């Protein structure tokens, strides 16, 4: 008998501080009008000093665990998708495990940049398929404010901090219907933070750099491709998608993807206006919002799709 997994709880967390485009006008040579018309972003949240990826993850996880109606001690596996870990090691997943007050279960980080959550969900659902785990916690958490060059207007206006989490439960029926993951490392230079720690010093430049328009075109292309791939694998049509939750980087990318898939924007969950691009956190943040406000309902098909540095991209198709 095939063992599937189902999302039984979602949660999210946004840091208290809000930075609007108007605030950014006072920091770099930009305008609210430029940022909004090019990206759809109006504001983003920024973590407080000392507030780390594991802290954001903890708040989101507690909400997801509560929504699942279980306690932290029931969690059998922790996967944390992040590109902005608390430290080089231990993993943010291990730090989160300790903050949740549990021990013993496997906990590891997933590094796939903005595709991290779909990679993490894909990995966790494969683990669940072994039947060894009843519940898994999958989190996307980011503090991109720490890896931005706040003097570079072409990148600092685009990103924000936040976290989202889901609890997976073992089930005899999907749940998670399919997961398709991809990568092409030949595009590594297109979007990167080309720095590391070496000999007690920072080597390279540990700030985000991006070839914006190349990334834009790549994202639109692969977001359409992975949606088609997921539908074909499940013998579904575009009209069967009840909700599309794409990575939230730019409303123009999201609209172009929806157009190519023939989907009305009413079927697309968007948070980019208020959260900006929160990388691995963007999909679970949007998912939590649409679950909690009642848009996503039992029996519906929900397609998650991510794309980001690496390059990495992928989809997870869910029957809710």
Q: How many residues does the chain have?
A: 320
Q: 231 vs 281, which CB is nearer to ligand UT7? A: 281
179, 193, 164, 212: CA torsion to nearest 10? -70
Please name the residue ranges forming H helices in 51-148.
53-68, 92-100, 116-128
Q: How many CB atoms lie within 10 A of CB 11?
A: 26
Residues 164 and 14: their CA atoms lie apart, in Å, by: 9
Residue 308 makes contact with ligand UT7 by CB under 6 A: yes
From the list 3-11, 160-168, 178-186, 212-220, the region that binds ligand UT7 by CB under 6 A is: 212-220
Q: 102 vs 114, which CB is nearer to ligand UT7? A: 114
Q: Of 118, 249, 283, 296, which one interacts with ligand UT7 (CB under 6 A)?
A: 249
Residue 157 makes contact with ligand UT7 by CB under 6 A: yes
Residue 257 makes contact with ligand UT7 by CB under 6 A: no
Residues 288 and 38: their CA atoms lie apart, in Å, by: 26
Q: 17 vs 38, which CB is nearer to ligand UT7? A: 38
- Indicate if the alpha-carbon torsion angle 122, 107, 167, 283 is positive or negative: negative
Residue 216 makes contact with ligand UT7 by CB under 6 A: yes
Q: Write out the catalytic residue numbers.
A: 114, 247, 277
Residue with token string 């399919």: 178
Residues 211 and 45: their CA atoms lie apart, in Å, by: 24
SS3 187: helix
Q: Which two tokens stand for residue 243?
A: 């909700």
Q: Of 14, 79, 219, 222, which one interacts with ligand UT7 (CB under 6 A)?
A: 219
Residue 114 makes contact with ligand UT7 by CB under 6 A: yes
Q: From the CB of 32, what's the least distance to ligand UT7, in Å?
A: 10
Q: From the CB of 295, what's the least distance to ligand UT7, in Å?
A: 23
Residue 120 makes contact with ligand UT7 by CB under 6 A: no
Q: From the CB of 162, what's the least distance to ligand UT7, in Å?
A: 13
Applying CB under 6 A, what is the total number of residues that bind ligand UT7?
20
Q: CA nearest 181: which of 306, 48, 67?
A: 306
Q: Of 90, 174, 206, 212, which one interacts with ligand UT7 (CB under 6 A)?
A: 212
Q: 91 vs 278, which CB is nearer to ligand UT7? A: 278
Q: From the CB of 197, what's the least distance to ligand UT7, in Å?
A: 24
Pairing of strands 161-171, 301-308: unpaired
Q: From the CB of 221, what's the least distance to ligand UT7, in Å?
A: 12
Q: 81 vs 219, which CB is nearer to ligand UT7? A: 219
Q: Which two tokens stand for residue 176?
A: 């998670």
Q: From the CB of 157, what's the least distance to ligand UT7, in Å?
A: 4
Helix (H) or strand (E) holding 291: helix 282-292
Pairing of strands 176-183, 312-319: antiparallel
Q: Which two tokens stand for residue 266?
A: 């009413």
Q: Of 17, 99, 146, 153, which one interacts with ligand UT7 (CB under 6 A)?
A: 153
Residues 270 and 283: their CA atoms lie apart, in Å, by: 9
Helix (H) or strand (E) holding 79: strand 77-81
Site for ligand UT7 in 23-52 (CB under 6 A): 30, 34-35, 38-39
Q: 174 vs 212, which CB is nearer to ligand UT7? A: 212
> Interface with ligand UT7 by CB under 6 A: which residues?
30, 34-35, 38-39, 114, 153-154, 157, 191, 212-213, 215-216, 219, 249-250, 253, 277, 308
């Amino acid at each position: 008998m095939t063992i599937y997994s189902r999302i039984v709880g979602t949660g999210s967390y946004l840091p208290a501080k809000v930075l609007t485009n108007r605030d950014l006008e006072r920091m770099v040579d930009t305008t609210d009008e430029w940022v909004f018309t090019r990206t759809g972003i109006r504001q983003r949240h920024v973590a407080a000093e000392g507030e780390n990826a594991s802290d954001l993850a903890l708040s989101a996880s507690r909400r997801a665990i509560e929504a699942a109606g279980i306690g932290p001690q029931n969690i059998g596996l922790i996967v944390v998708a992040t590109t902005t870990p608390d430290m080089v090691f231990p993993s943010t997943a291990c730090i989160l495990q300790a903050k949740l007050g549990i021990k013993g279960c496997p906990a590891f980080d997933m590094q796939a940049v903005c595709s991290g959550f779909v990679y993490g969900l894909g990995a966790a659902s494969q683990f669940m398929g072994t039947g060894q785990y009843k519940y898994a916690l999958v989190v996307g958490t980011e503090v991109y404010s720490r890896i931005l060059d706040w003097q570079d207007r072409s990148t600092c206006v685009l990103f924000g901090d936040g976290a989202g989490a889901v609890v997976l439960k073992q089930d005899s029926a999907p749940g998670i219907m399919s997961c398709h993951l991809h990568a092409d490392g030949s595009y590594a230079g297109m979007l990167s933070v080309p720095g590391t720690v070496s000999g007690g010093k920072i080597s390279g430049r540990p700030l985000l750099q991006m070839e914006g328009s190349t990334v834009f075109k790549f994202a639109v292309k692969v977001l359409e491709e992975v949606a088609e791939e997921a539908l074909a694998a499940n013998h579904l049509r575009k009209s069967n998608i009840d909700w599309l939750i794409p990575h939230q980087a730019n409303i123009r990318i999201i609209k172009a993807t929806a157009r190519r898939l023939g989907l009305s924007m009413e079927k697309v969950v968007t948070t980019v206006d208020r959260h900006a691009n929160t990388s691995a956190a963007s999909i679970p943040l949007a998912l939590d919002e649409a679950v909690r406000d009642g848009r996503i309902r039992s029996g519906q098909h929900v397609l998650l799709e991510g794309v980001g540095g690496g390059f990495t991209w992928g989809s997870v198709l869910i029957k809710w």
